[in-house]
Structure 1
Amino acid sequence: MTITQLRAFVAAVDGGSFTAAADALGVSQPTVSALIRKLEEHHRLPLFIRTGRRLTLTAAGSELLAWARQIVETAERADEALVELRGVQRGTISLGVLRNANFYFLPDMIELFHRARPNVQLRLFGQNSFEVVEGVREGVLEAGIVVLPVPDDELEVFPLIQDEVLWASASPDHVAQPVTIDQVVSNPVVLYDVSHSWNDPTRRQLSERAQERGLRLEPQFEVEYLEAALELVSRGLGDTMVSRAVTRSAHFPDGIHVAPFETPMYDTIAVIRRRNSILSPAILELIDIVSALLRQRAPRIVGEAPPAPASTNE
C-alpha cells in the first residue's frame, strides 16, 4: 500500500469514477485503474463494485475510506509544512551563539528576524564556543556563531569578522597607553567564562603572550559572565579583557576605560556547521542578519557567510 494508491482511491470515491479521479490527479485513467487494482490485489479484496456509470464501495472499500482520507490529508499537511519551512514561513530553528552575543547582536537579531518571520520559533543557545561546537557536531544545533580557534574536526568554518580585543580598567592610568602583557600581569585581573577557563580562545591568546615573556597570568577573580566581570572592574577590583564591539554596546558600563594592546589582539568570529551539511533557508537568513550586525559594530571583515543550500551540493 502506497500513498499514491491511496490518493487514487480517495479521488475515485470523491469523483465517482476513475476518469474523474484521473482528471483530479492530472494522470491518465489507466494509471488510476492500475493503482487501485494493485491496492486490491495486495489485500485480495475488491474495493469497488464496478457496475453502472458510478463506482460503489464494497464493505472493504468503506472500511478503508476513513483511514485512506486520514493518511492522504496527513501527508498533504506534512508536505505543506515543509514547503512553508522552505519558504521561511514557520517552524523552529536552533542556533548556537557565543557567550557574549547579547553585547554583539542578540537583541537586534531577534527583533529583526521576528519582524520578518513572526511564525518561526527561535531556539538560541548562548554558550561557550566549545559547547556550541559540540552542539553542532551532535546535530542538536543546525549551526553556530563562535570565536576562533575551535576544534574543527567534522566542521566547516566560515570566518565573518575580526574584533579587536581591548584591556579594560576603572583606573585611567592602567590604560593610558597601549597595554603590554607585563602590565596586565602586574595588576589584579578579572576573567570570565570560568566553566571553560583556558579553553576559551581569547584567554588562550593572553596566556600564550604571557608564556612567551616567561610570565604566568593568574586571575584574582574568575566569574562566569562578562557582565559580572565588568561589574567587578567598575568597582576597581581588577582589570579585564573586552572586545571593541562590547565597548560600543549600550550595555557597557560607564566609568570603565579601555586601551588596545601594544601588539594588537583580535577575536575572529565565525559561523560553523557540520561538514557537507545543508543549512535551511531560515538559518541562512538568520546568519545574514548576524553578519550585517557584526559588520556594523566590528567592520574588520575576514570572510563570508556559508553558501546557500544549493551550493553545498556542488
Structure 2
Amino acid sequence: MNTRLLTYFVKLVETKNFTRAAEQLHIAQPALSVAIKKLEQQLDLPLFHRNERKVTLTHEGEVLLVHARLILQQISDANIAMAELKGFEKGEVKLGVPSMLGSYFFPEILMAFKRKYPNLKLTIIEAGTQSIRQMLLDGELDLGVIHNEDVPQRLETEHLVTSQMVAVVSERHPLASQPYIKFEDFFKEDLVMFKAGYFHREFIDEICEKYHFKPKISFETNLLPMMLNIVRHDFSISALLELVTEHENGVVAIPFEEPVHLNIAMAWRKNGYLSLADRAFLEFVNAYSK
C-alpha cells in the first residue's frame, strides 16, 4: 500500500464515480480502475460496491477511509513542517466560522490580522459547528470556531468568547417590552431558525428535548440577513447571540428567564500540525479578544 493508492482511494470515495475521480486526479479512468483493483488485491479485501452510476464503500472500505485520511493528512503536515524548516511558510490560514461570529465578531480581527501580516492568505469557510468539527477532523480546515461542548477527543480547544443567547423580536412585537421571556412563551411563537448543525439550532433542539416543547418553525435558513429581515417584518421571532442584536436596528433582544450563555472556542486537531501562519493567527486572536 502506498500513498498514491490511498490518494486515489479517498478521491473515489469523495466523488463516488470513477470518471469524475479520474478527471480530478488528472489520470485516465482505466488507470484509476487498475489502481483501485491493485489496492484491493494488496489488502485482499473488497473496498467498494460497484454499479453503473456510482460506487459506495463496503464496511472494509469505511474502516480504511478513516486511516487513509489520517495518513494523508499527516503526510501533508510533515511537508509543511519541512518547508518551514527551510524558511518557508504555508502562507494560508483556513478558518471555519459560524455565520453569527463571522458577521459580527471576526471582521475587525481579520482585517487587523491582514494589516499585520499582509502576505498571509485568509480563507474563511462559513458553516455550522457540526460541519466545522468534521472538517477539522478531516483536515479540510486548520482552525475552526465551535461551541465548546461535547468536543471530539481529537480536537484541542481554547476559549474565545462567551455570549448570551437571547430571543430576538421586532420592535413592534408584543413581547418587545418584556424584561425577559420564558421558554414556554418563546416556543408558542412562529420561529425562524438556522438549519440543523449550527450551535443556534443545537440550543433550540436541546431546550425542546429537555422541556418537551414542539417548535413552530415557519422559516429555516442559514442566511443571517434574511433571518433578521423576517424578524424585523414581524413574520417570526428567533434566538441569536446577543452580540448580533448589539449591531442591528429594528430588533429587540430579550433574555430568557433561565439565562443561556454559550462558550465559544477556537479548535484545531490535537495531532495536526499548526503552521507558522496558523500559530500567528491563534496568538493574534487571543491577544485581540482579551
Question: Could you tell me the TM-score, scaled by structure 1's length?
Answer: 0.60
Q: Distance in 1 between matches of 2:283 and 2:104?
A: 14
Q: Which residue of 2 aligns with 1:261?
A: 256
Q: Does 1:83 align with 2:87?
A: yes
Q: Does 1:182 align with 2:184?
A: yes
Q: Which residue of 2 aligns with 1:201?
A: 199
Q: Distance in 1 between matches of 2:123 and 2:95?
A: 6
Q: Distance in 1 between matches of 2:220 and 2:199?
A: 16
Deviations 1:223-250 (A, max 9, x none): 122221111000110101111111223x
- Counterpart of 2:229 in structure 1: which amino acid? E
Contact kept, 8 Å, 1:189 with 1:218, in 2: the verdict is: yes
- Counterpart of 2:138 in structure 1: which amino acid? E
Pick from 265, 276, 281 the counterpart of residue 281 of structure 1. 276
Q: Distance in 2 between matches of 1:201 and 1:104?
A: 16
Q: Which residue of 1 aligns with 2:114?
A: 114
Q: Distance in 2 between matches of 1:292 and 1:240?
A: 32
- Counterpart of 1:145 in structure 2: which amino acid? V
Larger radius of gyration: 1
1:260 deviates by 0.6
1:287 deviates by 2.5
DSSP 3-state at the match of 1:119? coil
Deviations 1:83-136 (A, max 9, x none): 142xxxx72221222222333333212211111111111111111111211221
Q: Distance in 2 between matches of 1:186 and 1:80?
A: 57
- Counterpart of 1:105 in structure 2: which amino acid? F
Distance change (3 Å), C-alpha of 1:294 and 1:232: farther
Q: Which residue of 1 aligns with 2:76?
A: none
Q: Which residue of 1 aligns with 2:166?
A: 166
1:258 deviates by 1.0
Distance change (3 Å), C-alpha of 1:231 and 1:289: farther
Q: Distance in 1 between matches of 2:158 and 2:184?
A: 34
Q: Which residue of 2 aligns with 1:99?
A: 99
Q: Distance in 1 between matches of 2:288 and 2:223?
A: 22
Distance change (3 Å), C-alpha of 1:227 and 1:104: same
Identity of counterpart residues, as a percentage?
Answer: 21
Distance change (3 Å), C-alpha of 1:293 and 1:167: farther
Contact kept, 8 Å, 2:98 with 2:198, in 1: the verdict is: no
Q: Does 1:144 align with 2:144?
A: yes
Q: Which residue of 2 aligns with 1:15?
A: none
Q: Which residue of 2 aligns with 1:125?
A: 125
Q: Which residue of 1 aligns with 2:267?
A: 272
Contact kept, 8 Å, 1:149 with 1:201, in 2: the verdict is: no
Q: Distance in 2 between matches of 1:277 and 1:81?
A: 17
- Counterpart of 1:135 in structure 2: which amino acid? M
Distance change (3 Å), C-alpha of 1:84 and 1:168: same
Q: Distance in 2 between matches of 1:123 and 1:156?
A: 20
Q: Distance in 2 between matches of 1:178 and 1:80?
A: 53
Contact kept, 8 Å, 2:155 with 2:267, in 1: the verdict is: yes
Q: Distance in 1 between matches of 2:85 and 2:124?
A: 22
Size of the aligned set, in residue pairs, is 207
Q: Distance in 2 between matches of 1:94 and 1:202?
A: 23
- Counterpart of 1:187 in structure 2: which amino acid? E
Q: Which residue of 2 aligns with 1:59?
A: none
Contact kept, 8 Å, 2:188 with 2:216, in 1: the verdict is: no
Q: Which residue of 2 aligns with 1:214?
A: 212
1:82 deviates by 4.5
Distance change (3 Å), C-alpha of 1:83 and 1:235: same
1:280 deviates by 2.3
Contact kept, 8 Å, 1:103 with 1:245, in 2: the verdict is: no
DSSP 3-state at the match of 2:266? strand
Over the aligned positions, Cα root-mean-square deviation in angstroms equals 2.3
- Counterpart of 1:243 in structure 2: which amino acid? L
Q: Distance in 1 between matches of 2:213 and 2:229?
A: 27
- Counterpart of 2:87 in structure 1: which amino acid? V
